[in-house]
């Protein structure tokens, strides 16, 4: 709950007058006169919130409660039938729930003429909750993002390409409470500045669901060229993927991150067969979270549209994989073969050079991708 409260506060920093309070099992965002809708837009994306409702807070006083219930009903749209549900948590309040239900129902009916009561399937339930400190009248329920508060399940390093899959994988990890940092491998001049911007824009979209995201941009050109020079028989892509994991693992060690996350999906492309995954995975024993592993492409696309990353992902700029990928990559690359090819050249120096050249960019929901160059490794 405390983490969730922090996450909500963080999302609402641009509304300094709004307060976030919590009591048992419930979080309150006190609008203090602020227009609720821009705030609802922010809050409904925060993981760990299953539903939210607009509430009016009044004193524990019958007349005030009557007035607020009437306001809630008459200010809601498309309502013909209603029902009042009183919950009296504060037993010191003199009127019992059942009796108050009737008093309020009667009050609403006698002061309006467009509504009738329907206790089974009302268009609107006017909920009245009498607590110690005040009474809350709730009139509409909005679905929240569900999941767990980001930051309650540790941190992962998301391998973020410019494609459709990896941002969706990041979103799903965040939904289970995992905070993310991202790593992206770029190969200038073969990949353009716009391909990099795509990745920054994708990460920025993901910050709507959690805190700011640190992106590690790895200069991969030299290493990648060398790999494809040294590696025969369609094994280049396998070695390249293994290098990505090796570098990612080192970033994890530096940043105290305990897992990696990818957008891999079983059977989609050559690098994602079972044999290929087995061979690529050999170089790290960090857990690799693969939220999309069993999904169909159309399910993935549906999520990417819902989280608004799809249009960015389909911008046409090439990423490093599409440029260097051989015509016929091996679909069943074997561990012993790839180890043999890797042993022919000592890549350590190039790996270190790539790591030393990492540029760190932090993106947040609040501000447009602000470059905070944090120096070299």
Sites of contact with Mg ion (CB under 5 A): 161, 163
Query: In whole angstroms, how far apart are CA 301 and each of 63, 147, 168, 280?
Result: 52, 20, 9, 25
Closest CB to ligand ATP among 122 and 263?
Answer: 263
Q: Which does 238 bind (CB under 5 to 8 A by kind): Mg ion, ligand ATP, none?
A: none
Closest CB to Mg ion among 322 and 364?
Answer: 322
Closest CB to ligand ATP among 130 and 320?
Answer: 320
d(CA 188, CA 275): 30
Quote the least distance from Cβ 312 to ligand ATP, whole Å: 12
Cross-strand bridge partners of residue 218? 185
Residue 50: CA count within 13 A, CB half-sphere:
3
Quote the least distance from Cβ 202 to ligand ATP, whole Å: 10
Phi-psi bin for 97: left (phi > 0), alpha (psi -120 to 50), beta?
alpha
Quote the least distance from Cβ 173 to Mg ion, whole Å: 17
Residue nearest to ligand ATP (CB): 163
Handedness of CA 253, 214, 272, 231 (dihedral sign): negative
With 0-12 / 13-18 / 19 or more C-beta atoms within 10 angstroms meaning exposed / middle / buried, residue 181 is: buried
Q: Which does 272 bind (CB under 5 to 8 A by kind): Mg ion, ligand ATP, none?
A: ligand ATP
Q: Which does 342 bind (CB under 5 to 8 A by kind): Mg ion, ligand ATP, none?
A: none
Comparing C-alpha atoms, which of 222, 232, 248 is closest to residue 340? 232
Q: Which does 185 bind (CB under 5 to 8 A by kind): Mg ion, ligand ATP, none?
A: ligand ATP
Closest CB to Mg ion among 137 and 245?
Answer: 245
Q: Extract the tokens encoding 212.
A: 């700011």
Closest CB to ligand ATP among 210 and 263?
Answer: 263
Q: Which long-range contacts (CB under 8 A, 24 or more apart) does 353-356 make?
A: 353/222, 353/223, 354/218, 354/219, 354/220, 354/222, 354/223, 354/247, 355/218, 355/247, 355/250, 355/251
Q: Which does 276 bind (CB under 5 to 8 A by kind): Mg ion, ligand ATP, none?
A: none
User: By the criterion CB under 6 A, which residues form the site for ligand ATP?
Assistant: 159-161, 163-166, 183-185, 262-264, 268-269, 271-272, 319-321
With 0-12 / 13-18 / 19 or more C-beta atoms within 10 angstroms meaning exposed / middle / buried, residue 52 is: buried
Task: For residue 77, give the DSSP letter.
Answer: S
Closest CB to ligand ATP among 40 and 351?
Answer: 351
Quote the least distance from Cβ 319 to Mg ion, whole Å: 6
d(CA 276, CA 33): 57
Quote the least distance from Cβ 346 to ligand ATP, whole Å: 23
Residue nearest to Mg ion (CB): 163
Quote the least distance from Cβ 78 to ligand ATP, whole Å: 41
Quote the least distance from Cβ 322 to Mg ion, whole Å: 7
Closest CB to ligand ATP among 319 and 365?
Answer: 319
């Amino acid at each position: 709950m405390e983490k969730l409260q922090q996450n909500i506060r963080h999302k609402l920093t641009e509304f300094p007058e709004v307060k976030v309070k919590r009591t048992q099992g419930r979080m309150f965002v006190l609008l203090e006169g602020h227009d609720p809708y821009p705030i609802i837009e922010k809050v409904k994306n925060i993981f760990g919130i299953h539903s939210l409702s607009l509430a009016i807070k009044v004193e524990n006083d019958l007349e005030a409660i009557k007035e607020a219930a009437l306001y809630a009903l008459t200010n809601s749209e498309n309502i013909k039938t209603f029902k009042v549900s009183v919950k009296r948590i504060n037993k010191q309040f003199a009127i019992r729930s059942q009796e108050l239900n009737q008093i309020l129902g009667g009050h609403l009916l006698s002061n309006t003429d467009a509504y009738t009561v329907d206790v089974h399937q009302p268009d609107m339930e006017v909920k009245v909750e009498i607590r110690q400190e005040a009474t809350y009248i709730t009139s509409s329920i909005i679905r929240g993002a569900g999941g767990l508060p980001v930051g309650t399940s540790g941190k992962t390093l998301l391998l973020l390409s410019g494609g459709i899959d990896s941002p969706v994988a990041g979103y799903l990890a965040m939904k289970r409470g995992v905070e993310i940092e991202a790593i992206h491998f770029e190969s200038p001049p073969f990949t353009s500045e716009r391909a990099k911007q795509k990745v920054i824009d994708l990460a920025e979209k993901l910050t709507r669901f959690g805190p700011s995201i640190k992106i590690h941009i790895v200069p991969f050109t030299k290493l990648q060229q060398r790999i494809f020079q040294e590696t025969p028989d369609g094994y280049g892509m396998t070695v390249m993927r293994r290098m990505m994991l090796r570098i990612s693992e080192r970033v994890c060690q530096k940043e105290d991150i305990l897992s990696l996350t990818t957008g891999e999906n079983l059977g989609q492309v050559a690098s994602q067969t079972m044999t290929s995954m087995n061979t690529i995975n050999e170089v790290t024993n960090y857990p690799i979270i693969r939220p999309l592993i069993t999904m169909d492409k159309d399910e993935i696309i549906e999520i990417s549209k819902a989280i608004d990353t799809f249009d960015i992902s389909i911008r046409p700029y090439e990423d490093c994989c599409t440029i260097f990928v051989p015509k016929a990559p091996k679909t069943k690359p074997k561990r012993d073969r790839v180890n043999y090819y890797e042993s022919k050249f000592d890549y350590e120096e190039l790996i270190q050079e790539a790591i030393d050249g990492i540029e760190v960019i932090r993106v947040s929901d609040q501000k447009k991708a602000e470059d905070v160059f944090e120096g070299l490794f």
